[in-house]
Structure 1
Amino acid sequence: MNGYLIAIILVIAFWAAVYILDKKGILAKHHMSAWGPFVMWRTSRGRDLIDKLSRPHRFWNAYSLVSKGIVAVIMFGMTALLLWEATLVSSIPAESAPGVDMILGIPGINPVIPLWYGILGLVVAVVIHEFAHGILTRVHGMGVKSLGIVWMVIPMGAFTEPDEEALEKTTRRKRTAVYAVGPGTNIIAALIFAVLFSSVALGSVAPAYDAPMAATIYEDSPGDIAGIPVGAQIISINGEDVPINGYPDVNAPDPNTPVTVKYYYNGEIFEKEVISGVILTTTEKGLPSGDAGLKPGMMIYSINGEIIRNETDFKTVMSSLEIGETVPIVAYSYNAETGTYEVAEEVTEITPMSKIDYYKSRGTSTNGVEDMAFLGVNTAYLGMVVKDPQALIDSMAHPFAGDDSVDDYFHSFLTYVTLPLTGYQPFPASLVDVYEPQGIFSGMSSNSFWIMANCFYWLFWINLMLGLTNALPAIPLDGGYIFRDWLDSLVQKVRKKMPDKERTQFVDSVTWVFALMILFLILWQLIGPRI
């Protein structure tokens, strides 16, 4: 039975059981209550632990001050980001717009978040978030009524239930401290887990073999047809060693000629016969490639009479072409019935366009872009995109290496956070055996090591997302309550003579306007592209 179907059946059965048990009063007898589809189990146990943890008051007061600073930066930054994203919605095609499942950060429902790593991350993130609230509540002399666990088939997190009346009556400074440490703790925890993932785990792993690695192999390409797997490390082609960065310059024969590829995979060395040639991995209608009849999967034989044996040959020929000048081109297409590449008769000539004009048509910055002939294609020798296996690890272990501007740091941060979207988190099973744990992890198997490393990354990711979300200025999120108190303090200082009742009404109105605005900006990303 499909795993998602089983999950849906379990959730429906759980909801039904919760509804029945709640109606019969059985949940209440065991200190439980229903909250929508969730069950909240309350207990007074654990309050002693919170009391002990809260005793270094000076530390926690400083910690809450740092948390307020973190929340303030995130609140402003996330709101600005949502406003900026709203301006881009009209340019996003409906088919590329995020779905509801992408907005919901629920493991197993959101396709980006793996079920078990997601559950681990969510449980840990919610527990430390709620414990931070409880500790600051006690630091400032307010009571904690109970602690508890939230269930929906499995434990989904924890909560602390402060004395709401005392929290409402206390000073704004203390109240904002209680609210700020929740998201602040998540952000600090995210930083710690990022260090554990990047510096500790990935700093202790190295490639098993010093050779370029096949990171992507396109379907029905020569590499795919020959059966070379993703993660294979290319040792030699036709008996000549392939340097770690020498794949584009490989000494290849004329296109459509067999070559012997020797590679290392999963602890063994293999040899396969592969048809040599530079393969088109993408083409596009409306660009020179599409207009010439080129299609993904075709092999380029020659352009303007120059034979294309490897990717460096292709780049050299492209740099020699004149923009707008029509030149002859010869390409092969694969015949699945005969298992051979045959001349594509429909492809005879191509007219390059300006690379600068292409960038401008896409609204992309042309800063630093050299104008040259452009066809609108991507290529890969043998249909395989290779990477330096150490460079792949370094990109995750040292994500900000070489950055020297705010823009660089921002893009590196986005690349790091979007590892799940690019297929590198959880780390691909096909690449696990490419690397061997070193140092303190040398005794671990590759599988165990990557499970540990993946846990670190998802603990980072879930904590980051929970912290960023909860810092938004939208009630009932922590950031919403903090925003309300900060706004109330500002209005009181600016309009000193405003009556308390009038000030409260004004502050509440503005707070709810912001909450609705944040909700709209999030929903607009779903609705806007589809209108």
Structure 2
Amino acid sequence: MYLKTSITPEGLAVILFIVYWLVLEYLRSINFLERHNLSSYGPLLILRTKKGLNLLEKLSRPKKLWRVFATLGIPMVFLGMVFMFSLIIFMDIVMLKSPPPPSSITSPRNVLLIPWVNTLFPPLYLLLALIVTLVVHEFSHAILCRVEGIKVKALGILLLLVPIGGFAEPDEKELEKNANRIQKVRIFSAGVISNFSLATIAFILFILLLNFLQPTVFIAHSKNPEIHAGEIVYSINGIKVFTPSDVTTALKLNRKKLEIVTDNGTYILPCVAGVEIAKTYPGYPAYKAGMKEGMIIYMVNNTYTPTLEAFEEFMSKTKPGQILDVHVYYNNKKEVFHVKLTKSPYSNSGFLGVEVYEYISGLELGYSSVLLEELKSLPYQLKSIRGLLFFVAMPLMGFKGFIGQATKYFKPEILGGYLFVILTSLYWIGWVNFYVGLFNCLPAIPLDGGRVFYEAFTWILNKFGLEGDKIAGATVKYLAYLIFASLIMSVVVPNIAYLKRL
């Protein structure tokens, strides 16, 4: 009899991690690490080097430029501090009032931005973005140290199987003795400011390169057994289609017959095009008029509405109180409903009171142009708190770059498949820099935001004749306890029910 066993990827990862830690402890015990300028704390391997210090000197020579850059960026650090601390408090309230259920997002392993540990993000792109982020962050601290005349003893990398951090090791005694308060704030802020700057550059390039992606139309859902979801639509009624507007134009050419060419063949179908009612809201106009789920709205008044875009465009121009003739297909018959609109809860236009989705001869089409336009609008979304929250959560909401199946729905106009690699690299470099920059703004030592807050708060308290160092030190310490307890709670609380079942 043979006992069959299998190891899950998670189990294999744990085994590899334990082996790595044991090897590390053995190398430490025989002084191998010390002889090679390495040290370890538990499973954390620290590599220090003086290589790069000469480059540091050269980069720090335009001292005035670096001081202006750091000084102008300091307000961004405080804005990031307020935003992130507010987000932490809001998260605490949500966790205590209505904790979310366990999910991949709340899984402890996915809280960490560690490639191959985090299962939500593509590991290679995450690794690239982390390396770029850490190099930029730590080099910026080091450059500002030299600009302010502070010695940098070494540069270093933190490794936990893969790089998870970096550091510049300034002469702390020299920093405390020779640097005034504004110099310290510039030094501590430099990493965050550089992360924000690089994120901005990466996303500008990302958005510019999006213009070289051609969107496609595809079959999102199909009630026709011959046509399958995922097929790319090349043309409809002889018109090449890339956007919802193209589809609307093509359908208006022939209201009786639909000729659709996809990557799987050509189909000729009787044309029944419009929006299908998925739900009517009780008490609203459509419900009162007797309209039902399954009805297909193909015309309103004398305007043909063969697509969701055409229907929404028409409805956006209506007004509350306006009476419409709504033409529908239902049970192979045509019917007309006279409906008096009410006010839309979302805008000043009229409201029918229905949920609809596109219906084109049993097909629902998808449009990759919608995603492109949403990505191109990111700079405008960042003007609001809601847009900023969307940006921070974007990878968690499903967009992980142009990888896997996502590449099927776009056609590069330059560089072929390399354009997807460049775009995805820029996306992750931009997002990780932005996220790491924001996280480091938190007013908790040892984070940069904690040290900046300490210096600024000490200065304010001293102005009022108070014991600045003592009060600011205690404040930052308790803020650190609060913030890190909140982060732990965000992982533990959603998983309490799961832990109870174990």
TM-score normalised by length of structure 2: 0.75
- 1:142 is aligned, of 140, 150, 164, to 150
Q: CA deviation at 1:272?
A: 3.9
Inter-partner Cα distance in structure 1 for 2:78 and 2:489: 24
Inter-partner Cα distance in structure 1 for 2:343 and 2:492: 34
Q: CA deviation at 1:480?
A: 0.4
Aligned to 1:110: 118
Asked if 2 retains the 8 angstrom alpha-carbon contact of 1:10 and 1:153, the reply is: no
Kindly indicate whether residue 457 of structure 2 is the aligned counterpart of residue 487 of structure 1: yes
In the alignment, residue 247 of structure 1 is paired with which amino acid? V
Inter-partner Cα distance in structure 2 for 1:331 and 1:16: 70
1:455 is paired with a residue whose SS is helix
Asked if 2 retains the 8 angstrom alpha-carbon contact of 1:218 and 1:281, the reply is: no
CA 1:287–1:310 in 2, change beyond 3 Å: closer, same or farther?
farther
Inter-partner Cα distance in structure 2 for 1:153 and 1:72: 34
Kindly indicate whether residue 421 of structure 2 is the aligned counterpart of residue 451 of structure 1: yes
2:395 is paired with a residue whose SS is coil
Question: Equivalences for 1:104-503 in 2 at 5 Å?
Answer: 104-169=112-177, 170-199=179-208, 201-203=209-211, 205-207=212-214, 213-214=216-217, 217-218=219-220, 221-222=223-224, 226-229=227-230, 232-236=232-236, 244=243, 245-247=245-247, 250=251, 260-263=259-262, 265=263, 270-272=265-267, 310-311=306-307, 366=346, 368=347, 370=349, 372-376=351-355, 378-381=357-360, 382-387=362-367, 389=369, 392-400=371-379, 409-414=384-389, 418-430=393-405, 432=407, 435-438=410-413, 442=414, 444=415, 446-495=416-465, 498=466, 502-503=467-468
Deviations 1:419-476 (A, max 9, x none): 43454431154453655545xxx3x2x2111101111111111111111110111111
CA 1:309–1:166 in 2, change beyond 3 Å: closer, same or farther?
closer
Matched residue count:
468
Kindly indicate whether residue 481 of structure 2 is the aligned counterpart of residue 511 of structure 1: no
Asked if 1 retains the 8 angstrom alpha-carbon contact of 2:233 and 2:241, the reply is: no
CA 1:11–1:272 in 2, change beyond 3 Å: closer, same or farther?
farther
CA 1:407–1:32 in 2, change beyond 3 Å: closer, same or farther?
closer
CA 1:148–1:450 in 2, change beyond 3 Å: closer, same or farther?
same
Inter-partner Cα distance in structure 1 for 2:320 and 2:83: 45
Asked if 1 retains the 8 angstrom alpha-carbon contact of 2:21 and 2:43, the reply is: yes
Q: CA deviation at 1:6?
A: 4.8
Q: CA deviation at 1:144?
A: 1.6
Deviations 1:47-97 (A, max 9, x none): 222122222221222122123222122112222333345455577563387
Asked if 2 retains the 8 angstrom alpha-carbon contact of 1:396 and 1:416, the reply is: no
1:193 is paired with a residue whose SS is helix
Inter-partner Cα distance in structure 2 for 1:320 and 1:56: 61
In the alignment, residue 126 of structure 2 is paired with which amino acid? G
- 1:41 is aligned, of 36, 39, 47, to 47
CA 1:132–1:321 in 2, change beyond 3 Å: closer, same or farther?
closer
CA 1:84–1:156 in 2, change beyond 3 Å: closer, same or farther?
closer
Asked if 1 retains the 8 angstrom alpha-carbon contact of 2:240 and 2:246, the reply is: no
Q: CA deviation at 1:12?
A: 3.1
Inter-partner Cα distance in structure 2 for 1:376 and 1:91: 31
1:226 is paired with a residue whose SS is coil
Tell me the percent identity: 24
CA 1:103–1:377 in 2, change beyond 3 Å: closer, same or farther?
farther
Aligned to 2:337: none
Q: CA deviation at 1:183?
A: 0.9
Aligned to 2:500: none
In the alignment, residue 407 of structure 2 is paired with which amino acid? V
CA 1:516–1:433 in 2, change beyond 3 Å: closer, same or farther?
same
1:420 is paired with a residue whose SS is helix
Asked if 2 retains the 8 angstrom alpha-carbon contact of 1:279 and 1:383, the reply is: no
Inter-partner Cα distance in structure 2 for 1:353 and 1:206: 40
Asked if 2 retains the 8 angstrom alpha-carbon contact of 1:278 and 1:383, the reply is: no
Asked if 2 retains the 8 angstrom alpha-carbon contact of 1:130 and 1:160, the reply is: yes
1:160 is paired with a residue whose SS is strand
CA 1:274–1:90 in 2, change beyond 3 Å: closer, same or farther?
farther
2:33 is paired with a residue whose SS is helix
Q: CA deviation at 1:330?
A: 9.3
Unpaired segments ≥5 residues, structure 1: 323-328, 333-341, 343-351, 360-365
Asked if 1 retains the 8 angstrom alpha-carbon contact of 2:281 and 2:354, the reply is: no
Q: CA deviation at 1:251?
A: 5.7
